Structures are given as structure tokens and as C-alpha cells.
Chain A
Amino acid sequence: MSIKEYLTVREIIGPLLLVDDVEGAKYGELVEIEFPDGSVGTGNVLEVSGRKVLVQCFEDTRGLSIGKTRIRFRGRGMELPVSRDILGRVFGGLGDPIDGGPEIIATKRLDVNGNPINPTARDYPSDFIQTGVSAIDGLNPLVRGQKLPIFSGSGLPHSRLAAQIARQSAVLRKEEEFSVVFAAMGITFEEANYFIEEFRKTAAIERSVLFVNLADDPAMERIATPRMALTAAEYLAFDLGMHVLVIMTDMTYYCEALREVSAARKEVPGRRGYPGYLYTDLAMLYERAGRIKGAKGSITQIPILTMPEDDKTHPIPDLTGYITEGQIMLSRELHRRDIYPPIDVLPSLSRLKEKGIGEGRTREDHSNLSNQLFSAYARGKEAKELAVILGESALTEEDKMFASFSDEFEREFIRQGEFENRTMDFTLSVGWDLLRLLPRAELKRVKPEQIQKYMKQVD
């Protein structure tokens, strides 16, 4: 197909170009934008009406001019060339190699938007992934094929936690292949570099594919970055049969880029200026996690987002939580008290927990123990809140026990080292030890035989 070139840009508004007198443009089509200085950028068709085409430019539009910008329609959507050689490579936010290595000789070119997994083709995620982090393994376990985001705030150690999960969860049965796909959107060089170094150190780099859009890269490029990453992940998981862990950070910057486009299009905004279709847009990304019946591989997603003003009702965390299978919530308060990882377990949730744990998967007491720890911790926190208002003396003896339980729980169970890789047995035994602080009669969620069996007797 011959590529048509147009010099008919009529308007440039923010990241959008309006091109006139175009013949045969298609919705979603890939567009090449040649800047007056000869450099070439990428865009895609957002809307086409008669001969008028609205193009979203993934580059910074600085330097574009109405008269001298050349637009070429490529006759296809945006694609990612893939082959096994993408492993170990670093790409920019639009999928071009930026590590100085050779171009990928593609065995396939895949549409980055993907297609939805047929719900009848899905296999239910139920294989427990041991992350070595007690607050996750013990209380909010991650399973293969799950999408479990980290809800964080600026300055909180979500990167360290995500890196720790990636590092420690690589333990697998021998015959299985594992890889990490990493998508950076709008984060700083330092943060991105932290991950890259981290992968280098653990030699995970050969099993990783990185897509990097930094804070000073064009903001619009970020809209494409997670799609690149997930397309690579689908290839690795469902073509090559690998278990893929996708870390996407920071989804907040991705959403802000979407908002910018929406504002430039003068769309009617939904909440807080974010477009009404943000839910659908995010779902198109998050739902690309999962397992498929009969397929060897899987895609597990850990998206990271920083909640503006630590507000979990903000549309980004809110809509994310409505789509993902739970969330790991970080707490500024725990962080201030120097508890790493600062996971607030009460509002955290793993929706796939029930299917992933128990006899034959982790341990038969896992579910009951975790419910017991949850409710005891919740009660302790309530008692402590009461004490703040009324003073210690207002608490009953029991309240006091629960209050000190919750302190110990944060110190012993939640808190652990960044390089401490706890076994499941260890995590559970810490839990049982802590329950000794409470009266037996209060332990209604674990069964007597379990207490007998797992709680160390002290005399």
C-alpha cells in the first residue's frame, strides 16, 4: 500500500492535530508526523469525519507548524514487532529499542490494542505465588493471573516493594519459564534506573523486557507504553508459554496523559476532569491479565499508582479498584513509623485468595489464621483509636490486649527486611505466635485443633 502524505494540518491544540483533505484514513490508524526540522514522530487517528482527521500526537508538539508538518497515514494500527529476542532488551515508550542494541527481527507484528480474552476461554487463577512478604503471602496472597495493584502515595516505598516482589517471587517449578515485563510511565530516571539495576543485580535482566517512558519523555507517549508492555507480555505468556509478571508504574501519570487528551478534545469531563471512559480504558489494560485454558503461561499484573493526596476515592485508585482483583494499600502512617513494607492490611484485599490458599496449596490453617489476624488487628486498631480520644483508662482489659496485639502485629508480622524472603511456614508461625497475646476464648476464627497444632506452647 502506498503511503499518502499530507501537508494539510489545520489546527494544533495541545497534543492534537486536525488534518484536512485526507482520503481514506481509518479510525485508530498509525500516523507518522514529520516535524519541520525533519524529525519524525508517531501518532494515531482519534476521530475521522469526512476528510477531516483528528490525530493524537505521541510526541511533544513543540516545533510543529501548520504549514510545514507532513502527515503520513500508515494504513495499519499501532503494532509491536516481537520475537524471543525481546527478552533482555530495553525499549522506549513507543517500543523502539533504546539500549543501543539491534532492531528486533520480528517473527510477528502484533496490534498493541490486543483483543479481549473470551470469558469462556479463561482459566480461574488459583496458583499461589510466594512473594516472601508476610503482609502479602499471609493476608493478601497473590496468585498467578491476578491483577493486584499497589496503591501508594508520593514518597512511599512502592518501587522497593515491587522490586522485592519481582525478585523473590521468581521461585518456580523447574520446567516453567518466568519473565518480567516492566512498563515505566512518567517516573524519574532514578526510579527507572533503580528497577533496571535491580534486575541486573539479580540477573533477572535476561528474562525481562523493559518499556521506559520517563518524566521528561513526551507525556502522550505514555498512552501507548502500557499497551506495548502488555502486548509483549501476551506474546511471552501465550505464544512462548512463560509466566509473566507485569509491573506498570506509575498508572497515575498514564491517566493524567489521558486527561490531557480529553481536555484538548473538549470532551465533557467525568469526575475531577478525568474522561468518562477512564474506567473502560483502564479495564482494557488490566483485563489483559489472566490465564487461558490449556495455555502454559500466564500474565500477572502489579500496577503501581500514587494516589493524589493519598485519597483512595480519587478516580484513579477508585476505578482501578473496581477493575483489579484487590489492592495492596500502602500507609503513610506506617511509613512514618519506619515500618517496611508499610502495608495497611485492613483496606488491602486479594479477591482471589480463597482459591489460591489452603491444604495442598499453602497450608490448611492459612485461611482461618488470616481471618483471625485480620479481625484481631481490626479490633486492636479500633481500641487504639478509642484510647486516643478517651485515654488508655477507658479501655477494657480485653481492649488493651488487642491494642498491644496490633502494635506487635505491625512490628513482627508486617515489618520485615527489604531482602528478607520469608517462607510460608515462617509467615504463618509469626502469625500464630502473635495470637498468643490474646485470650483463647477470643480466637473464634481458628479451630481448636489448629491452635493445638500450630500455636507454640509456653509454660
Chain B
Amino acid sequence: MEDSTGQIVKVAGPLVVGAGLPEPRMYDLVRVGSQRLMGEIIELRGDLASIQVYEETGGLGPGDPLFGTGGALSVELGPGLIESVYDGVQRPLDVIRSATGDFIARGVEMPGLDREKGWEFVPVAKVGQEVAAGDVLGTVQETKSVEHRVMVPPGVSGKVAEVMQGSFRVTDVVAVISGAEGDTEVTMMQRWPVRMPRPHNGKRAPRDQLVTGQRVIDTLFPIAKGGTACVPGPFGSGKTVIQHAIAKWANADIILFVGCGERGNEMTEVLLEFPELIDPYSGEPLTKRTVLIANTSNMPVAAREASVYTGITIAEYFRDMGYHVALQADSTSRWAEALREISGRLQEMPGEEGFPAYLGTRLASFYERAGLARCAGTEERTGSVTIVGSVSPPGGDLSEPVTQATLRVVKVFWGLEDRLAFRRHFPAINWLISYSLYLGEIEKRWNEEVAGDFHRLRSEAMSVLQREAELEEIVRLIGVEALSPAERLVMETAKSIREDFLQQNAFDEIDAFSSLRKQYLLLKLVMTFGSEAGKALEAGAGIKEVIGHPMRESIASAKYTPEEDLEELEALIAEVEEAMKLVVEGVVHDHELTESAAGRAREKVKKVFDTY
């Protein structure tokens, strides 16, 4: 153990003030007390350094030793990240548990990457080849789903003098690069300070859709790969379920889930559930592409502050390999509160609601680390980091500082509402207030990738929902009698959009995920009913007959159609058109037709329930 280089003079909760550290620098890592707890310098005044400590500070007092490390808080990057469960400062929680038991003890030093494990390194670069930082030297099949690309670390370039092949540990040398300043030995592990964005060769505007499988998100308020979104909502409105759904079903290569100051059991849920669930794209268990950071609400508050940075740095590292990474931060409000708490201890001048004045800048620079980027290196490669942050506004009031500061920087807003949650309308995203600024770009792609009329259907659905809100106002004032048959139909179509399309049960095996194709067909089905029924009304059909039509039962159960049977939906759309035509013709319902549809619907419902 190195000699003590300083002394504690003050302890106030997670904040310790020390003196006597030789040349302390902002954001240097410091070991605190004889247990060598991890801490980070966040303020300097003369000889005094304020240190936020990532562990409980009980038992520390003036005179206890401080040990400078001279380095900044960094993460270890290399094979072994995937499938890990880390705390906010990248300590592997599963390893800690085997070492110290079920409760987290203090002062445990554990490296983020396993030092003993061997990885099969397959060289890509050739001896003699000129390489620059970011170029791929070789690959490691880290899990079945993820090929880990071992890159030339930032700051290194030159000729490949040596490159190995075979099984190595992360600290073994796998290549030697000779550059202007001599030879550099490269291992599979890099370190990077968490508060500094990793370099890239420039950003591009996000354009491809991150498909989440959630209908209200993908169809109404889509997010692009490399984009930013926030999900504010009061407790119980469904933030965590949405974040989990994205982690499960998004078409990203890598998932980084940051549980920031939230429930322990929610982390357990991910840990128990993800190994059992199959990634719809790779066919492998979801864990094989996931890194989990779990700094729950009862874990030290300073480590909570660090957790989002630990997460985003790991995300950037995989982006540098050319992957599309989706990061979920649940919840950024808890991170902001950690900032507030530390700021209060530093006795800084508070801004709104006690948050520090720099809340907005911190949030903005965090979200700014998202993006679609040309990766560092000489070969053309793009990768992206998408950030979805939950926001937990006190009392559900969106005017509070964290929500407001977040809304200024993110491009997608999914506003959750408890009124919808009470009615068990899930996901409880309010369609009237939510928005996506990527819509225009993404809709263009639907033309080729989904269907030419998808974006028309979407905007029609949005205007029906808008109309519904206006008509509801009338009903509230005068009663349903005041509505014309056409208006009644608008209300019914809106209801169908809400119940048969937007509502999506995250706990139902089939309903949990919808491909874009399925989303399109479902929406088309619902909207076809609306437009065809409208024609029937114009042609003189009665409103009761139209809205009470037995076809509607099949529409309601259509969302339980499995992905492999989507042609059934196409057939159903044709049947709806047909059925409405028959209504117009005044023909007594073709018994067979509706019977067969209803029969199929019942069967489908049965199939769905059987999967429980």
C-alpha cells in the first residue's frame, strides 16, 4: 500500500474535505480512509479538496488518511463487459457478492474486467499495416451475439510490428504498434475517464429508426438510432416498463441499462428475466447483448451520480466498434437529485428547487454524448448511441426543473400520464402531448421499408385522436346525443385506435413486441374500418349497425396475431372492407363471412390466453 498522502479535515455525508494531497486535480480519484473507499475530487479551494465518496462514509473522521491516485475516475473497456452487472463505478456486483456476501460491504476493490479469463483473439490487422486510433486489430467472440472488436486505443498510431493470435487475458499484449515515439504494446483492455466523451470522426444526423416493437412509440413518436428521448411521468405511469421493453425488443446491437437510483427488485427482474428471453433479431438470449449498471436508490448517492457516466462511456466504446447501442437511464431525475445533494453539501448557490445552476448544462452534455458518429479510425464505420432517459417529476408536474432542462435537449418526448394508467391504458403515453422530431426523416424510410401509405395512415390516426379530444369536450358539456352519426363514428374509430392499436400489454408474450410490418397492418386494419364505416354511413347505414358490427371483435383481437401469421391481418383488412360494403348494399350480413372471422378471432384469443 502506498503512503498516505493527505488527511481528512471534514466529513458531511457523502462529502469529505481533505488537505495535504500533493497537486490535487479536479476529478482525480482519491482513496479515502484506511478502508480506501473510492472518491473523486469535485472542488478545490487552496489546499482543501472536496471529495465525493462513492461509499457510505460512516466511521470516517478528521485525521483519517487520504491516498491520491493521480488518475481520473475511469472505466475498463474490453472483452467481459457484456453480461456484466456493475455498480455506478463499474464494480462487478456479482463478483462482489461471491466475495463479501448478500449485503454490499464497504471498501471492496474489484476490477471491472475479469483478469483471469482467457479470450480467443483473432487478428485482423496485418504486420506492417499502418494503423490509427480506432482501427480494428483483431476480434474476440465475446458472446454469441457480440463480436468484440479490439481497437487501437486513442492516442496511438503507427505500423503494426506484431500481432498475436490465440487465447489471452485482457491484460496480455496482443499487438505491438511502432509509432513516432517508439513501440506501444496494446492489450485488449483500455481505460477511459468517464467524464470525457470518447473521440470520433464527426457526427451525422440520425436517420434510421430504432425499432422498439412498441406501437405507440414506433408508429406515432419514433426514435432514430443515435437519437435522444425522454420519458417523464409520475410513479406508476409505466416508465420502467417502457425502458425494459426497449431493452428487450429494440433493434440495437448492444443494450446498456443504467438503473440509476431506482428499485432493487427491478434490477433483479432484469437479471432473472433477460437470460430467459430471446432477442428477436439474433435468436440469442437477451443477456448476450446487455450490460447492466445497477446503482439502486439505497446505494451510495455519489456513485449514483457517476453511474450514468460509467454507462455512457461503455456505450461509446461499443459505438466506436461500429455498433448501434441503446442506453436506458432509469431515472435521470435520481441522478439530478444526486447532483443536488452533493451541490448542497458544497454549499453552492442553489438554482430552482435547490438544484445547482449547472443542472441544465450537465444534462445537455450528457445527452450530447448520444449520436450517430463516424467512428475513429481509418476505415469508414459508423456507430451510434441512443439515449432514452426516464424523468420522475415530483407530483407528476412537468414544469419542474429536471423535466424542463431535459426537454430543451432531447428530440423525442413520450409524456406519460397517470390518468391513462389508472384506466389501465398502457403504455400510458399521452398521444396529444408527445412528439418526435425524427418523424419526418423516419417516415421517408417507411415508404421503402414498410409501405407507401404508412405515413398517411399515421397522420390520419393522429387527426382522429385529435378530433376525439374535441368531441369529448362536447360530450362532456352537452352529452353524447349532441353528436352526429359521423362524429359518433370518429369517437368509435378513436376508441379502436386507442384500444386495438395503442394499448399494448408488455406482459403478454405475443403483444409485447410488434414488428413495423405488424404495426402497419394493425393500423391499416383499424383505419380501414373507420373509413369504410364512414362510407357506409354516408350511404345511409345506421350508426348502431356500423359500430356494433361483429367484425369489430376480430379487430380487437388482431393484435394477438403472431408475427409468423401476419398474412391473416391482410386477409382481415379485406374482410373489413367487404363487410362494410355488404352493410352498404343493405345485404343481410353474409353469415358465413362474419362467422368465419369471429371464429378465427375466438381461436386467436384462445391461442393467446394459452400462452400464459
- Contacting pair A352 B265 (CB below 8 A): yes
- Contacting pair B602 A122 (CB below 8 A): no
Give bound CA distance, A28 to B106, whole Å. Answer: 15
| A375 touching B104 in the complex, CB below 8 Å, given contacts A50-B62, A119-B85 | no
Distance (whole angstroms) from the CB of B502 to the closest CB of chain A: 15
Give bound CA distance, A358 to B508, whole Å. Answer: 14
- Contacting pair A49 B62 (CB below 8 A): yes
- Contacting pair B334 A279 (CB below 8 A): yes
- Contacting pair B392 A322 (CB below 8 A): yes
When the two chains form the complex, which single residue of A116, A318, A321 contacts B104, counting CB atoms closer than 8 Å?
Answer: A116
Residues of A25-80 at the interface with B, using a CB-CB cut-off of 8 Å, are: 25-29, 46-51, 77
| A346 touching B337 in the complex, CB below 8 Å, given contacts A27-B61, A116-B298, A322-B235 | no
Stretch at the interface among A93-101, A269-277, A418-426: A269-277
- Contacting pair B268 A447 (CB below 8 A): no
Interface size, A (range): 35 or more
A216 beta carbon closer than 8 Å to chain B: no
A215 beta carbon closer than 8 Å to chain B: no
Contacts of A276 in B (CB 8 A): 337, 340-341, 344, 354
- Contacting pair B11 A47 (CB below 8 A): yes
Residues of B544-570 at the interface with A, using a CB-CB cut-off of 8 Å, are: 553, 556
Contacts of B259 in A (CB 8 A): 119
When the two chains form the complex, which single residue of B265, B354, B481 contacts A122, counting CB atoms closer than 8 Å?
Answer: B265
B45 beta carbon closer than 8 Å to chain A: no
Residues of A371-389 at the interface with B, using a CB-CB cut-off of 8 Å, are: 371, 374-375, 378, 386, 389
A309 beta carbon closer than 8 Å to chain B: no
| A313 touching B396 in the complex, CB below 8 Å, given contacts A48-B62, A116-B296, A358-B612 | yes
| A287 touching B264 in the complex, CB below 8 Å, given contacts A49-B12, A119-B85 | yes
Q: How many residues of B contact A (CB 8 A)?
A: 75
When the two chains form the complex, which single residue of B103, B353, B397 contacts A116, counting CB atoms closer than 8 Å?
Answer: B103
B395 beta carbon closer than 8 Å to chain A: yes
In the complex, the chain A residue whose C-beta lies closest to that of B552 is A441
A325 beta carbon closer than 8 Å to chain B: yes
- Contacting pair B612 A119 (CB below 8 A): no
Contacts of A280 in B (CB 8 A): 261, 297-298, 301, 337, 341
In the complex, the chain B residue whose C-beta lies closest to that of A379 is B423
In the complex, the chain A residue whose C-beta lies closest to that of B355 is A276
Give bound CA distance, A113 to B85, whole Å. Answer: 25
- Contacting pair B264 A124 (CB below 8 A): no
Give bound CA distance, A367 to B508, whole Å. Answer: 12
- Contacting pair B9 A378 (CB below 8 A): no
Contacts of B609 in A (CB 8 A): 368, 447, 449
- Contacting pair B268 A27 (CB below 8 A): no
- Contacting pair A25 B94 (CB below 8 A): no
Contacts of A367 in B (CB 8 A): 612
Ordered by A's residue number, 12 sampled pairs between the chains whose C-beta atoms are within 8 Å are A25-B62, A26-B11, A26-B60, A26-B61, A122-B265, A270-B354, A276-B341, A280-B341, A287-B298, A327-B236, A368-B609, A375-B423
Q: Mark B275-300, 1 if CB is under 8 A from A, else 0.
A: 00000000000000000001011110
Contacts of A118 in B (CB 8 A): 93, 96-97, 101-104
In the complex, the chain B residue whose C-beta lies closest to that of A321 is B235
When the two chains form the complex, which single residue of A315, A389, A394, A447 contacts B606, counting CB atoms closer than 8 Å?
Answer: A447
- Contacting pair A117 B103 (CB below 8 A): yes
The 10 closest A-B pairs by CB, nearest first: A313-B395, A283-B297, A28-B58, A394-B479, A287-B298, A49-B10, A115-B103, A26-B61, A27-B11, A121-B102
Contacts of B476 in A (CB 8 A): 386, 389-390
Contacts of B261 in A (CB 8 A): 279-280, 283
A295 beta carbon closer than 8 Å to chain B: yes
When the two chains form the complex, which single residue of A119, A346, A390, A441 contacts B264, counting CB atoms closer than 8 Å?
Answer: A119
Which has the most chain B C-beta neighbours within 10 Å: A26, A124, A367?
A26
Which has the most chain A C-beta neighbours within 10 Å: B61, B395, B480, B507?
B61
Which has the most chain B C-beta neighbours within 10 Å: A268, A389, A390, A394?
A268
Contacts of B104 in A (CB 8 A): 115-118
In the complex, the chain A residue whose C-beta lies closest to that of B506 is A354
When the two chains form the complex, which single residue of B57, B105, B422 contacts A346, counting CB atoms closer than 8 Å?
Answer: B422
- Contacting pair A120 B93 (CB below 8 A): yes
Contacts of B97 in A (CB 8 A): 118, 120-121
Contacts of A293 in B (CB 8 A): 102
- Contacting pair A119 B10 (CB below 8 A): no
- Contacting pair A49 B102 (CB below 8 A): no
| A279 touching B297 in the complex, CB below 8 Å, given contacts A295-B102, A325-B265 | yes
- Contacting pair A77 B59 (CB below 8 A): yes
Q: Mark B126-163, 1 if CB is under 8 A from A, else 0.
A: 00000000000000000000000000000000000000
B394 beta carbon closer than 8 Å to chain A: yes
Give bound CA distance, A279 to B337, whole Å. Answer: 9
Residues of A236-290 at the interface with B, using a CB-CB cut-off of 8 Å, are: 238, 267-271, 276-277, 279-280, 283-284, 287-288, 290
Contacts of B418 in A (CB 8 A): 347
Give bound CA distance, A325 to B236, whole Å. Answer: 9
| A313 touching B301 in the complex, CB below 8 Å, given contacts A124-B265, A276-B337, A396-B480 | no
Contacts of B340 in A (CB 8 A): 270, 276
A417 beta carbon closer than 8 Å to chain B: no
A356 beta carbon closer than 8 Å to chain B: no
Residues of B67-91 at the interface with A, using a CB-CB cut-off of 8 Å, are: 85
A4 beta carbon closer than 8 Å to chain B: no
When the two chains form the complex, which single residue of A124, A270, A313, A449 contacts B397, counting CB atoms closer than 8 Å?
Answer: A313
Distance (whole angstroms) from the CB of B112 to the closest CB of chain A: 15
B269 beta carbon closer than 8 Å to chain A: yes
Contacts of A352 in B (CB 8 A): 265
A200 beta carbon closer than 8 Å to chain B: no
Contacts of B264 in A (CB 8 A): 116-117, 119, 122, 287, 290
Give bound CA distance, A248 to B103, whole Å. Answer: 23
Give bound CA distance, A287 to B334, whole Å. Answer: 15
- Contacting pair A77 B268 (CB below 8 A): no
